Structures are given as structure tokens and as C-alpha cells.
Amino acid sequence: MTAAPHDISLPASLLRTLPGTAYADPDVFALEQERIFERMWICAVRGADLPGPGSFRTVQIGRESVLVVRTREGGIRAFLNACRHRGAQLCAEDSGEVKRTFRCPYHAWTYALDGSLVAAPNLAKMPDIDRVEYGLLKVHVREWLGYVWICLADEPPPFERDVIGAAVERLGNAEAIEHYDTGQLTVGRRITYDVKANWKLVIENFMECYHCSTIHPELVSVLPEFAKGYAAQYYVGHGAEFGGAVEGFTVDGRPGVSRIPGVTEDQDRRYYAITVKPQVFINLVPDHVIVHRMFPVTADRTLVECDWLFLPEVVASGTDLDASVELFHRVNVQDFAACERCQPTMTSRSYAKGGVLVPSEHHIAAFHQWHRAMLES
């Protein structure tokens, strides 16, 4: 990606952000839903949240409700959550379990877990109806890091490039993330945050650490280099090192829980952060992984689902996870409050041309260029 042309009305140290309207205008939001969220790979559901055949979740991706289900064979399928007869939403619940089929509550068209139409009143009298063609509309599914990723595009972009590639690009090599064995970890805690801010403010905030010393006292005492304002994401392959007296990635630096066995000596006592556009943050520390998934609701509201993942035996043993969870929970609350503080200004005349990025935030300009390119595509 080439650098943004420098705005000659600005001093060389500064780059422009997107204009305020990009964060507040419902028309921009609608275009983002269509051209970003309905075209890219979206991290939708933790696989373990679909424990057995017939377990399902519904999730909003772009403008679509998507039904994600565990099949009888143990795989995962995803469909548009819409009955093919006259369009009733098939599942109104966020999650649940069916025995063998989904039955539309309107006229009882009934679909198997593979999406095919298996029954309908008088179906025998309509032998020309193809049960696959009138089955639920399938969308693309991949599993990675223990999550179900969904793409609504007819032709999905390469998963290896867009999703795995983001981790490789950040960490500098393909194996580094595998050491954390994220797919085998267990959700020890999940917190959903209802953030009254545009999803891009949340991403931009995550990408920089210029704010760390102002709003994250606990994080900076665990990762003292963050006080300098350079995020782990500023450098390829860099993990922020724990402070000398810090024993674990916990709210007060006390020891954490058992280290993930695959984590190498190089990765020990370090924090790595990855952004997978458009809606995932992955945070790696030696004894747990924190995954944020963002679900934009409106231009000024974003739900953020945050999972703290630990070794299964750590969770099963009932080990107290509070000190580990509390550190990033506080970071989240501090970050989201900052994003919410910015949101009202996005419609102010003062922000009509946007704000500015200082040098330690310049890498965010690449995100803005990507955003512009996606909306024009």
C-alpha cells in the first residue's frame, strides 16, 4: 500500500484522519455494510458455542441475519436466516438447539441442518420443487483459531491473504500465532460491550498507543514501554515487554495462570496485538489470548464481544481468572469511554475535515486508505 499523499496544508508531522462524516453519516455506514462487512471474512461465532448437532447461533453480518449451525456430521454450515417460501425469519433467537430441522413458524416449511428443504405442507403435491434449490441460501464458512468465520460474498476474498495474512504481517512469520494454540483454548470469560461509537473509532483506538499513558495506568505499569506512545502494532514482529517486576499479564502484575505450552521463550513475557480488518483484534500474552469481535449496529453504535481464552485445564480447575481478566476489561472500558467521547464531535463543524494523526499514529493512515479504497470498490 502506498503512503497517503501528504496534505500540504498540514505540518509534515501530521496526517489527516477521515472527515467526521465518515464516522457518523448513515449513508457511509450503509455503504460500509455493503462493501466491507458483506464482502469480507467476518469472525462470527466461537466454535465451542455450537457444542453439538443442531446447536445454532444467529448473527448479524452487514444487513443480513445469518444462521450458523452444527451439522449432524459435526461440521459447521451457515445460511441466510430467511425462509425461502415467503421470507419469514427462520430463527428469532440468538442461540439455541434444534433436534433435526428448522421449521418456519409461518407455513411450516422445514429445513434440515444442511439447509435442504425436507418438508412443507402439501410438498408431495409439488414434485417439481427442487429441495436443494429451495433450501436455505448458504454462505461461506471457514474455521480458524477456534472461531467460525463467515463471508457473504459470492466469491470470497482469499482467507489466507486477508485473515491469516493479517497475523503473519503483524507477527512477522506464519508460525508465531500457532504457538498459542488458540483453537484449543477455552473461553474463561466473555464480556459484551455496547459502545456508543463508530466501529472505526474503536479500530483506530486499538491501533495506537499515544493514549496509553493518559488513560491506561494499569496497562502501562505492566507494559512500561507503552508510556512512550508506540503501540505494539507500530513495529512488525514486536511484542511489548512486561516490566521487570511484573510477574504476569494481570491487573496488578501478580502472577497469571499456567503458560500456554507452545509459547516460545521469545514470546514469553510479551504482549502482541493484531488487527484483522474489519472487525477482529487478537491479543496474545503467554498464558491467555484475548479476542475482540466487533459488530457495528449503527453509525454511532458498535457491540464488542470480548473473549478471554485460557488453557482448558485452567478453566476446568476453577482457577481464579479475575486478575487476568480485570486488566484488559479495564483497558476496554477506558478505550470505549474514549471512543464515546469522540463520537459526538464527529458531526461538529470543528471536525468537518477530520482530525490529525501524530507520527506514532501515522500507521492509521493506511487503515484510512484501505477504507476509502473499499468504499470505492
By the criterion CB under 5 A, which residues form the site for Fe ion? 335
From CA 271, how far away is CA 284, in angstroms rounded?
6
Phi-psi region of 54 (alpha: psi -120 to 50; beta: other; left: phi over 0): left
If binding is defined by CB under 6 A, does position 235 make contact with ligand FES? Answer: no
The beta-strand segments (E) located in the chain are 15-16, 42-46, 55-61, 64-70, 76-80, 95-97, 101-103, 110-112, 117-119, 138-144, 147-151, 186-195, 240-241, 270-276, 280-285, 288-298, 301-310, 356-357
Residue closer to ligand FES by CB (options 120, 339) is 120
Look at residue 85 and give the partner it binds from ligand FES, Fe ion, none, a contact being a CB closer than 5 to 8 Å depending on partner kind.
ligand FES
Size of the site for ligand FES (CB under 6 A): 10
In the set 85, 140, 142, 362, which binds ligand FES (CB under 6 A)? 85
Alpha carbon distance 353, 19 (integer Å)? 5
Interacting partner of 107 out of ligand FES, Fe ion, none (Cβ under 5 to 8 A depending on kind): ligand FES
Instruction: For Fe ion, give the closer residue by CB, 71 or 221.
Output: 221
Instruction: Tell me whether residue 87 or residue 237 sits nearer to ligand FES (CB atom).
Output: 87
- The CA-based diameter of the chain, rounded to the nearest angstrom, is 76
Please say which residue, 300 or 335, places its beta carbon nearer to Fe ion: 335
Q: Contact between 109 and ligand FES (CB under 6 A)? A: yes
- Residue 119 touching ligand FES (CB under 6 A): no
d(CA 83, CA 99) in angstroms, rounded, equals: 18
Q: Which is nearer to ligand FES, 8 or 126 (CB)?
A: 126
The three three-digit cell numbers of residue 334, written as one number: 477506558
Could you tell which of ligand FES, Fe ion, none binds residue 335, using a CB distance below 5 to 8 A set by kind?
Fe ion
- Choosing from 107, 138, 228, 341, the residue that interacts with ligand FES (CB under 6 A) is 107
| Residue placing its CB nearer to ligand FES in the complex, 104 or 274 | 104
Q: State which of residues 28, 61, 104, 325 lies at the interface with ligand FES (CB under 6 A).
A: 104
CA-CA distance, 204 to 356, in Å (whole number)?
12
Question: Which one of 61-69, 106-114, 157-165, 361-369 is the stretch in contact with ligand FES (CB under 6 A)?
Answer: 106-114
**Cell 509534515 found at:** 12
Cis peptide before 158 (omega within 30 of 0): no
- Which residue, among 67, 282, 58, has the nearest Cα to 185 in the 3D structure? 282
Q: Which residues are near ligand FES by CB under 6 A?
A: 83, 85-88, 104, 106-109
